[in-house]
Amino acid sequence: MRYGVKVAYDGSRFHGSQIQEGTDLPTVEGSIRSALVRIGAIGEGNKISFSSRTDAGVSALGNVFSLDTDFDKDELLKALTANLDGIWPWGIGAMRQEQNVRWADGRWYRYHLPPEPLDDGSIISITNALSVFVGRHDFRHLCKLEAEKNTEVEITRAQAYDVSGSGEMVMVDIMGSRFLWHQVRRMVGAALCVKDGDLTEKDIEELISGGDLDDELKKKRDRIKTMPPIGLVLIDVEFKDVQFVPSVEALELALSSMQEIAWRSSMNIVLRSALQSLRIALPR
């Protein structure tokens, strides 16, 4: 039976999602494959396939991998979660035997901007720049090119919003059918360039028109920063014909294993906020 498994992971602990042949670098795929072999769900020579490739440092809440197994579906996620560290499978759904997990209906990425306060005008500027990307465009100038890869991508949503109320926690949601290598991080970098005055919305329109760039636009493109992977999370991969059923037991195991990590992270936020308050209180 072929299953799709929804999986979350802490990208800072891995050198990407895909196995890097000829190296001993820890990857999400390698860790999951080893765990599946350990619990007897697959054999040594069997492989799994991921819907979306993520780079080193990029995290996920809802990436999907597929596997063929006769392991008890109701026990698989719990057994797998108990044998993994930094990876939390939490949902499972039956797929067609010939179904290719790469052919998803949609993908949703979220980029968490660095925690530097942004005013309302800056957030509006970022959102306006991101809105230019909505629709079908050619992203050859805003990605890391791969040979013979189709660079036309349809973006269905691109928006920035402040969840903190103070401009210190601004997120960017980008949704589309598929994405190119580094595309999301370059899109965010381009929007920040518009906010900083290094690009205009018209420049972005020209960059995604698919045409050749003149020297002036090449210089502007080269100012665009590929944002660090630490801020990027693959929130979800959508399959309209696969119903993923969450496992309460697997989620409980995941939350238990993350408790100390979350505690440490929350303390860092508390300390940073306290230092920010001290800085504001200091005389100029």
Rounded Cα–Cα distance for residues 13 and 27 (Å): 8
Rounded Cα–Cα distance for residues 102 and 99 (Å): 9
CB 228 within 8 A of CB 12: no
Instruction: Enter the tokens of residue 28.
Output: 């999400």
Distances (CA, A) of 209 to 17, 28, 80, 215: 31, 35, 45, 16
Strand, helix or coil for residue 202: helix
Residue of 55, 68, 138, 173 marked catalytic: 55
Of 7, 1, 4, 5, residue with least CA distance to 28: 7
Active site residue 55: yes
Rounded Cα–Cα distance for residues 268 and 196 (Å): 28
Rounded Cα–Cα distance for residues 28 and 84 (Å): 10
DSSP of 137-178, one letter per residue? EE-GGGS---TT---EEEEEEEEEEESSSSSSSEEEEEEES-
Establish how many alpha carbons lie within 13 A of residue 184's alpha carbon, considering only the half-sphere containing its beta carbon. 31
**Which sequence positions are flagged as catalytic?**
55
